[in-house]
C-alpha cells in the first residue's frame, strides 16, 4: 500500500494532487427543491445516480450525514427546508452493491451510539464494501436530541470530546483485535464514566484493515482530536489563505500528537457553481441563491435566532427592530438557537445589515450561502484556482455539496474533472479498490500484542 | 393430493417460500458474493430471503447484508433479523425504514429478543431475561411502528408558492414511553422519524411464535410468526395450534431445515451434525416437494434453512420449486410487489392521519 513520503516525516510535503468527495446533504436550505429538475432527496435512484456519477468522476468518497432528531422551528418541525433522510450506513450498504471503487463515509455520532454496536456495524460495512468504509466522527451534547435515545441527555458539552475519544479508542481496539490468520484476540474491555464495554469482536479485518476515520469538528479541541485520531479532517476553511493557515495549524497539531506531518489529510466543505464562461457562472449563481433562500426562508432563518415569530416583517425590508427572546425556552431548537447570546447577536446583525444596506433576504443569503465555500467561475478558471491549492498543498481535496439532486455533479464530472486532469492535479484512475489506497493513507498495522496492551 | 390442490385453489391461498441466506456468510460462502447468492435464490423463485444476526464470528450485520442485496434484486423480499433488546429503538426504526427505501418496498423485520449476557455486556447493560425479553421486543416494535407512522404519506408537499417543503401538520411526535411495569430501564422516544414514511407504510414484522401471545408481544404487534416444531410430522399440528392461539390476521411461516441428496451425496450422510431445534427434512427433492405441498396447505409460507446454500439451492431451483409451481402450491411472484403484497396485507394509513384531520377540522 502506498503512503505519503511525509506521513511519518516532520516536514509537510505537498502531494500536488487533489481528490474530491461528495456530500449528499439531503437536508437544509443548500439543496434546491424548487427547480423543475430537482429530484427526490429520499428515493434510492437519487442516491444511485449521484454516487455513480461521482465514481465516473473518480471521486474518492461519498459522504452521508446523520440525523438524530428533526430540526424544529417554534416548537414544530421546520416546514421550509429539505428534511428527511435515510440512515447513513443502511444506504451506504445498498450503494456498495452498485459501485466498486468509491469510498463510503457514514457520519455517526459518538453520543447516541454504543461503541461495540457501532464498531461492529462499521466493520460490517467495510467488509460488505470490500474495504471502502469510513466513519465521519461527530459528537452531540444536547438533551433535546437525547430525547430519542435510551440514555437521554447525559453528556455535558465539556465532556463530549473526552467521551468521543474513549469511544474511538474502543472502536479501534475492537477492529485491531482480530489479526488475519489468528482469529479474535479475546475480549475488549472499557470501563468509563459514561459506559462500560465488554465485547468479543466478531469480524476479521477488511481489505483496508479497518474503516478510515474522518472528523469534522473545528474547535481547538476538535482539531486536536482529529490530529490524534483521524485520517482526514473535513474542514470548514476552503478559502485559499484560510486553508493554508489551517494546514499549518493541523500539521503542528499532528506533530504534537506524535504523528507525521502528512498524517491527517484536509478536505474542506465546498460548493461549485460552474459554467463555460465567467458571466454565465455569475448569472447561474444568482439563480441558485434565489432558489436556496426564498422570502419565507429568510424570515424563518431569523426566527430561529430571535426565538419568536417574525412573519409580519417584510423579507425585502430591514431586520426586525424588536429584540429576541432571551430565555432558553423549549420553543425553538436546532442549529440556530443561541439562548442568552441572542440579543447581542441581533444588535450585531442589525448594525451589519444597516451598514451594508441589506434587506432581510439579502442579509440571510449572505449568512447562509456558503460564501467562503463557493467556487464560482468558468471551468478553466476554477481549475486554475484549484491547481494552485494542489501546488502548495493547501488542502488534499474538496468535499462537494451539490445544490441540486440528482444532477448536481454532472458539470463537475463532465467539465471540471477533465480540466483538472489536464493540469495534472487530479487522478486519471483509481489507485486501488480500497478507500485507504485511494487516499494514499498508510496501513494502520498494529500487532495483537499492541492491541492487547492498549 | 387432489383435495390439497382444491383447497389451495379455492382459497386462492397458495403459499410462499422463504430461504435463510445465512449460509452465504458475509462474502457469499460458496458463492462469489452475497449479490450472486441473493440473485440465485431470487431466480430460483424464492419469495423472501432472510438474514440471521446471531453473534457468530465472521458474520456481518444482517440489516446491512439485506440492504446490499436491495439494489441488485427486483422481486424477492429482504428480511433481516434485528435484535430488539440491546439496540437503540430509534436507530433500528430508521435503519429498517431505510431498508424499505433501498429495496423498493421489499423489506421486512424479524424482531428477535434472546437472552444474551454477551450482548448485554457489550453495551454495558445488565442481562435481560425471562418475561422482560418480550417486553423489550414489544416496546421496540411499538416505537418503530409509531416512528414509521410519524410522517403521514403526503407530508412532503414541495409547495413553491408558500415555500414549504413539508406540511408540518402531517409530522407527528411519536411520544413513546415504556409502560409503567417495564422490567428493564424505562425510556422514551420523542420522534418524529428522520426519514419519511417507509414505502410500505409499515414494514411487515415477524417474530418467533414463542415470543407472541398473551403476556408477551401482542399478536397485534406482528404480521407473521415463525413456527418451529421438533419434527416435520409435528410441524403441521404446531401450525394449527399457533393459528388457533393467535387468530387469523397473523400469517404463519413454518421453519424447516433441509438437507437434500445432491451431487451424488446422500442426504443421510450429510445430515449429521448441528442441532437447530427445527424440524429437519433429509432426503430426495421429490420427497421435499410432497412435504412442502402439505405444509403450504396449513401455513402461509415455509422458510427453508439449507444445510449448504449452494448444494441445496441446486436441487431446490431445478426440481423442488418447479414441481411446486406445477402443482399450483406456490404463489406467483408479483412483479414490483412489496413484502406486504406477498403476505396479503394492504398498505395501512398512518395512525396519526385521523387525529391530524380532526385537529385541522377543530381549528
Whether the per-residue pLDDT at B307 is higher than 80: the answer is: yes
Higher pLDDT, residue A3 or A165: A165
B10 confidence band (pLDDT: 50, 70, 90): very low
CB atoms within 10 A of CB A334: 15
The per-residue pLDDT of chain A, averaged, comes to 89
| Contact yes or no for B67 and A94 at CB 8 A | yes
Residue A158 pLDDT greater than 80, yes or no = no
Mean pLDDT value across chain B: 90
**CA–CA distance, A185 with A88 (Å, rounded to integer):** 30
Residue in B with minimal Cα distance to A34: B160
Q: From the centroid of its chain, how far is CA A38? A: 22
Higher pLDDT: B327 or A156? It is: B327
pLDDT higher than 70, residue A3: no
Give me the pLDDT at residue A7, please: 58
User: What does residue A69 show for φ and ψ, rounded to 5 degrees?
Assistant: -160, 140
Grid cell in block for residue B93: 426504526
How much of chain A, in percent, has pLDDT values that exceed 90? 66
Instruction: Grade residue A371 by pLDDT with cuts at 50, 70 and 90.
Output: low
Tally A–B CB contacts below 8 A. 183
Look at residue A446 in the predicted model and tell me its pLDDT: 61
> Is A413 within the bounds of a domain?
yes
Q: Span B141-155, mean pLDDT?
A: 97
Distance (Å) from the alpha carbon of B177 to chain A's nearest alpha carbon: 11
Between B332 and B112, residue with greater pLDDT: B112
d(CA A195, CA A248): 36
Cα of B189 to nearest chain A Cα, Å = 4
Q: Which domains does chain B have, with CATH numbers?
A: 38-356 (3.20.20.30)
Residue numbers in A near B34 (CB within 8 A): 128
**What is the reported pLDDT for B205?**
98
> Lowest-confidence range among A59-68, A277-286, B186-195, B256-265?
B256-265
Q: Is it the case that residue B337 has pLDDT exceeding 50?
A: yes
- CB neighbours of residue A139 within 10 Å: 23
A270 and A378, same domain (yes or no)? yes
- Strands B16-20 and A374-378, by their bridges, are unpaired
> By mean pLDDT, which of A194-203, A326-335, B3-12 is the weakest?
B3-12
Domain assignment of residue A288, yes or no: no
Higher pLDDT, A319 or A181: A319
Q: Are residues A314 and A426 in the same domain?
A: no
Report d(CA A188, CA B118) in Å as an integer. Answer: 12
Give the pLDDT confidence score for residue B135 in this predicted structure: 96
Q: Which of B70, B124, B160 sits opposite A94 (nearest CB)?
A: B70
* pLDDT in the model for residue A450: 52
Highest average pLDDT, of A330-339, A369-378, B105-114, B267-276, comes from B105-114
Asked if pLDDT for residue B301 goes beyond 50, the answer is yes
Predicted confidence at residue A324, as pLDDT, reads: 85
Does an H or E element contain B80, and which? Answer: strand B77-83
Q: Above 60 in pLDDT, residue B363?
A: no
Least confident span in A26-40, A414-428, B16-30: B16-30
Q: Are residues A273 and A317 in the same domain?
A: no
pLDDT at B268: 83
Q: Is A284 a domain residue?
A: no
Predicted local distance difference test score (pLDDT) of residue B159: 94
Cis peptide before B192 (omega within 30 of 0): yes
Q: In a 3-state reduction of DSSP, which class is residue A266?
A: strand
Q: A397 and A302, same structural domain? A: no
| pLDDT at residue A1 in the model | 40
Tell me whether residue A145 is in a domain.
Answer: yes
Q: Which residues contact A145 (CB under 8 A, 6 or more apart)?
A: A68, A69, A111, A112, A153
Nearest CA to A135 out of A113, A160, A161 is that of A113
Predicted confidence band of residue A81 (pLDDT cuts 50, 70, 90)? confident
Q: For B104, which residue in chain A has the nearest alpha carbon?
A: A44
Please identify which residue in the block is written with the cell numbers 435515545.
A149
For the ranges A113-117, A295-299, B198-202, which has the lowest average pLDDT?
A295-299
Q: B60, B69, B157, B359: which to substitute to probe chain A, counting the most A Cβ within 10 Å?
A: B60
- A381 and A360 in a single domain? The answer is no
What integer is the mean pLDDT of B84-92?
96
**Residue A209 pLDDT > 50, yes or no?**
yes
Q: Answer whether B102 sits within 8 Å of A200, measured CB to CB.
A: no
Name the region of A56 (left: φ>0; alpha: ψ -120 to 50; beta: rest).
alpha
Alpha-carbon gap, residue A222 to A286, rounded angstroms: 35
Range of the domain at A377: 19-277+373-449
Residue at A283 is within a domain: no
In the prediction, which pLDDT does B293 show?
A: 97
Q: Examine the pLDDT at B327 and tell me if it is beyond 70.
A: yes
- Which of the residue ranges A182-191, B113-122, B155-164 would you say has the lowest mean pLDDT? A182-191
- Minimum CA–CA partner of A70 in chain B: B194
Asked whether residue B233 carries a pLDDT value surpassing 80, the answer given is yes
* A437 and A310 fall within a common domain: no
Entry field: residues in chain A: 454
What pLDDT band is residue B329 in, cutting at 50, 70 and 90?
A: very high
Of B98, B165, B189, nearest to A79 by CB-CB distance is: B165
Q: Which of A367, A389, A420 is the last residue of a domain?
A: A367
Residue A382 predicted with pLDDT over 80: yes
User: In A, which residues are within 8 Å of B84 by CB distance?
Assistant: none
Claim to verify: residue A67 and residue A200 sit in the same structural domain: yes
Give the model's confidence band at A249: pLDDT under 50 very low, under 70 low, under 90 confident, else very high.
Answer: very high
Q: In the listed set A349, A367, A385, which residue is the last one of a domain according to the structure?
A: A367
Asked if residue A379 and residue A335 are part of one domain, the reply reads no
| Residues A323 and A272 grouped into a single domain | no
CA distance A389 to A411: 21
Confirm whether the ipTM is greater than 0.85: yes
Do A241 and A250 contact (CB within 8 A), yes or no? Answer: no
Q: Is the pLDDT of residue B123 over 80?
A: yes
What is the pLDDT at residue A445? Answer: 66
> Which of B70, B103, B195 is nearest residue A42 as measured by Cβ atoms?
B195
- Return the residue of A nearest to B166 by Cα: A79
Please check whether residues A272 and A173 belong to one and the same domain: yes
Among A211-225, B268-282, B296-310, B346-360, whose mean pLDDT is lowest?
A: B346-360
> Quick one: pLDDT at residue A161?
86
Say if A341 falls within a structural domain: yes
Residues forming beta bridges with residue A62, ordered by sequence position: A22, A104
In the predicted model, is pLDDT for residue A43 greater than 80?
yes
Q: Among A333, A367, A401, give the residue marking a domain's end.
A: A367
The answer to whether residue B87 scores a pLDDT higher than 80 is yes
Query: What is d(CA A65, CA A67) in angstroms, rounded to the nearest whole number?
Result: 7
How confident is the model at residue A178, as a pLDDT? 79
Mean of pLDDT values over A244-270: 96
Kindly list the residues from chain A whose CB atom is less than 8 angstroms away from the CB atom of residue B36.
none
- Specify the pLDDT at position B13: 53
pLDDT over threshold 80, residue A162 = yes
Contact across the interface for A97 and B26, Cβ inside 8 Å? no
Could you identify the residue written with the cell 478507500? A435
Task: State the pLDDT at residue A328.
Answer: 52
Band (A327; pLDDT cuts 50, 70, 90): low
Of A135-149, A344-358, B346-360, minimum mean pLDDT range = B346-360
Binding residues of A for FMN: 107, 157, 161, 219
Read off the DSSP letter of residue A148: T
List the grid coordinates of A303: 426566527
Contact A247, A393 (CB under 8 A): yes
Beta-carbon count within 10 A of B348 CB: 14
Average pLDDT over residues A244-256: 97
Buried b (16+ CB within 10 A) or exposed e, B211-238: bbeeebbebebbbbbbbbbeebeebbeb
For the record, the C-alpha cell of A287 comes out as 439563480
Strands A133-138 and A72-73, sheet pairing: unpaired
Residue A235 lies in a domain: yes
The total of structural domains in chain A comes to: 2
**Dist CA A123 CA A61 (whole Å):** 17
Name the packing angle between helices B285-298 and B2-11 (round to 10°): 50
Q: Do A302 and A414 reside in the same domain of the chain? A: no
pLDDT in tens, A91-117: 999 999 999 999 999 999 999 999 999
- Domain at A189, CATH number: 3.20.20.30
Statement to judge: residues A355 and A414 lie in one domain: no
| Percentage of chain B modeled with pLDDT above 70 | 91
Between CA B140 and CA B211 the distance in angstroms is: 13
Q: Is the pLDDT of residue A345 over 90?
A: no
Asked if the structure places residue A3 within a domain, the reply is no
CA–centroid distance for B94 within its chain = 16
- Residue A19 phi/psi, 5-degree rounding, is -135, 155
- Asked if A116's CB is within 8 angstroms of B26's CB, the reply is no
Q: And the C-alpha cell for A98?
A: 452498485
Q: Do A90 and B64 touch (CB under 8 A)?
A: yes
Element (H, E) at B157: strand B156-159
Q: Is the pLDDT of residue B7 over 50?
A: no
Amino acid at each position: 500500500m502506498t503512503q505519503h513520503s511525509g506521513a511519518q516525516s516532520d516536514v509537510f510535503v505537498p502531494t500536488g494532487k487533489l481528490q474530491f468527495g461528495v456530500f449528499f446533504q439531503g437536508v437544509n436550505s443548500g439543496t434546491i427543491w424548487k427547480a423543475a429538475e430537482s429530484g427526490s432527496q429520499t428515493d434510492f435512484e437519487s442516491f444511485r445516480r449521484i454516487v455513480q456519477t461521482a465514481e465516473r468522476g473518480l471521486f474518492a468518497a461519498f459522504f452521508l450525514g446523520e440525523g438524530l432528531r428533526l430540526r424544529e422551528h417554534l416548537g414544530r418541525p421546520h416546514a421550509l427546508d429539505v428534511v428527511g433522510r435515510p440512515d447513513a450506513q443502511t444506504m451506504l450498504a445498498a450503494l456498495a452493491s452498485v459501485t466498486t471503487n468509491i469510498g463510503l463515509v457514514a457520519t455517526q455520532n459518538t453520543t447516541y451510539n454504543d461503541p461495540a454496536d457501532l464498531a461492529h456495524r462499521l466493520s460490517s460495512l467495510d467488509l460488505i464494501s470490500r474495504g471502502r468504509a469510513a466513519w465521519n466522527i461527530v459528537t452531540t451534547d444536547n438533551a433535546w436530541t437525547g430525547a430519542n435515545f435510551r440514555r437521554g441527555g447525559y453528556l455535558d458539552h465539556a465532556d463530549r470530546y473526552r467521551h468521543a475519544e474513549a469511544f474511538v479508542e474502543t472502536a479501534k481496539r475492537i477492529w485491531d483485535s482480530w489479526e488475519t490468520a489468528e482469529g479474535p484476540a479475546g475480549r475488549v474491555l472499557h470501563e468509563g464514566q459514561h459506559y462500560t464495554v465488554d465485547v468479543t469482536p466478531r469480524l476479521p479485518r477488511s481489505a483496508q484493515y479497518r474503516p478510515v476515520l474522518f472528523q469534522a469538528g473545528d474547535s481547538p479541541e476538535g482539531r486536536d482530536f482529529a490530529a490524534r485520531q483521524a485520517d482526514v479532517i473535513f474542514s470548514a476553511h476552503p478559502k485559499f489563505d484560510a486553508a493554508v493557515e489551517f494546514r499549518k495549524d493541523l500539521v503542528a497539531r499532528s506533530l504534537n500528537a506524535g504523528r507525521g506531518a502528512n498524517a491527517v489529510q484536509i478536505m474542506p466543505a465546498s460548493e461549485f457553481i460552474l459554467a463555460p464562461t465567467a458571466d454565465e457562472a455569475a448569472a447561474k449563481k444568482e439563480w441558485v441563491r434565489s432558489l436556496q433562500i426564498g422570502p419565507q426562508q429568510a424570515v424563518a432563518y431569523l426566527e430561529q435566532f430571535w426565538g419568536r415569530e417574525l412573519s409580519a416583517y417584510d423579507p425585502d425590508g430591514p431586520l426586525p427592530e424588536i429584540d429576541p427572546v432571551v430565555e432558553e425556552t423549549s420553543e425553538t431548537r436546532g442549529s440556530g438557537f443561541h439562548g442568552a447570546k441572542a440579543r447581542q447577536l441581533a444588535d450585531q446583525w442589525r448594525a451589519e445589515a444597516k451598514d451594508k444596506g441589506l434587506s432581510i433576504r439579502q442579509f440571510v443569503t449572505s449568512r447562509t450561502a456558503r460564501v467562503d465555500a463557493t467556487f464560482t467561475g468558468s471551468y478553466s478558471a476554477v481549475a486554475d484556482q484549484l491547481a494552485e491549492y494542489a501546488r502548495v498543498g493547501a488542502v488534499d481535496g474538496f468535499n462537494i455539496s451539490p445544490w441540486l439532486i440528482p444532477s448536481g455533479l454532472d458539470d463537475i464530472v463532465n467539465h471540471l474533472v477533465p480540466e483538472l486532469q489536464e493540469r495534472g492535479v487530479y487522478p486519471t484512475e483509481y489507485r486501488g479498490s480500497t478507500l485507504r489506497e485511494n487516499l494514499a493513507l498508510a496501513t494502520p498495522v498494529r500487532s495483537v500484542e499492541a492491541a492487547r496492551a492498549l | 393430493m387432489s383435495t390439497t390442490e382444491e383447497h389451495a385453489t379455492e382459497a386462492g391461498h397458495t403459499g410462499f417460500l422463504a430461504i435463510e441466506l445465512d449460509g452465504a456468510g458475509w462474502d457469499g460462502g460458496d458463492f462469489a458474493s452475497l449479490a450472486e447468492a441473493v440473485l440465485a435464490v431470487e431466480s430460483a423463485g424464492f419469495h423472501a430471503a432472510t438474514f440471521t444476526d446471531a453473534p457468530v464470528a465472521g458474520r456481518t450485520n444482517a440489516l446491512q447484508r439485506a440492504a446490499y442485496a436491495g439494489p441488485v434484486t427486483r422481486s424477492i423480499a429482504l428480511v433481516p433479523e434485528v435484535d430488539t433488546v440491546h439496540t437503540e429503538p430509534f436507530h433500528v426504526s430508521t435503519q429498517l425504514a431505510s431498508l424499505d427505501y433501498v429495496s423498493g418496498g421489499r423489506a421486512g423485520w424479524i424482531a428477535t429478543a434472546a437472552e444474551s449476557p454477551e450482548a448485554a455486556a457489550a453495551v454495558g447493560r445488565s442481562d435481560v431475561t425471562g418475561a422482560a425479553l418480550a417486553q423489550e421486543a414489544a416496546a421496540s416494535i411499538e416505537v418503530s411502528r409509531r416512528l414509521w407512522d410519524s410522517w403521514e404519506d403526503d407530508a412532503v408537499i414541495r409547495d413553491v408558492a408558500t415555500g414549504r417543503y413539508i406540511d408540518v401538520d402531517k409530522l407527528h411526535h411519536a411520544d413513546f414511553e415504556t409502560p409503567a411495569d417495564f422490567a428493564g430501564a424505562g425510556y422514551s422516544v420523542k420522534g418524529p422519524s428522520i426519514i419519511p414514511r417507509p414505502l410500505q407504510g409499515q414494514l411487515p414484522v415477524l417474530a418467533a411464535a414463542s415470543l407472541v401471545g398473551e403476556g408477551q408481544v401482542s399478536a397485534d404487534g406482528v404480521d407473521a410468526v415463525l413456527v418451529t416444531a421438533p419434527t416435520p410430522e409435528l410441524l403441521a399440528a404446531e401450525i394449527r395450534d399457533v393459528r388457533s392461539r393467535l387468530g387469523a390476521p397473523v400469517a404463519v411461516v413454518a421453519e424447516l431445515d433441509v438437507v437434500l441428496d445432491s451431487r451424488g451425496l446422500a442426504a443421510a450422510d450429510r445430515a449429521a451434525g448441528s442441532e437447530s431445534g427445527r424440524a429437519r427434512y433429509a432426503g430426495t427433492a421429490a420427497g421435499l416437494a410432497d412435504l412442502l405441498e402439505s405444509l403450504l396447505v396449513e401455513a402461509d409460507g415455509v422458510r427453508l434453512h439449507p444445510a449448504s446454500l449452494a448444494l441445496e439451492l441446486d436441487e431446490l431451483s431445478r426440481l423442488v420449486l418447479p414441481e411446486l409451481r406445477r402443482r399450483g402450491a406456490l404463489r406467483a411472484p408479483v412483479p414490483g410487489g412489496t413484502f406486504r403484497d406477498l403476505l396479503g396485507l394492504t398498505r395501512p394509513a398512518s395512525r396519526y392521519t385521523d387525529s391530524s384531520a380532526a385537529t385541522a377540522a377543530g381549528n
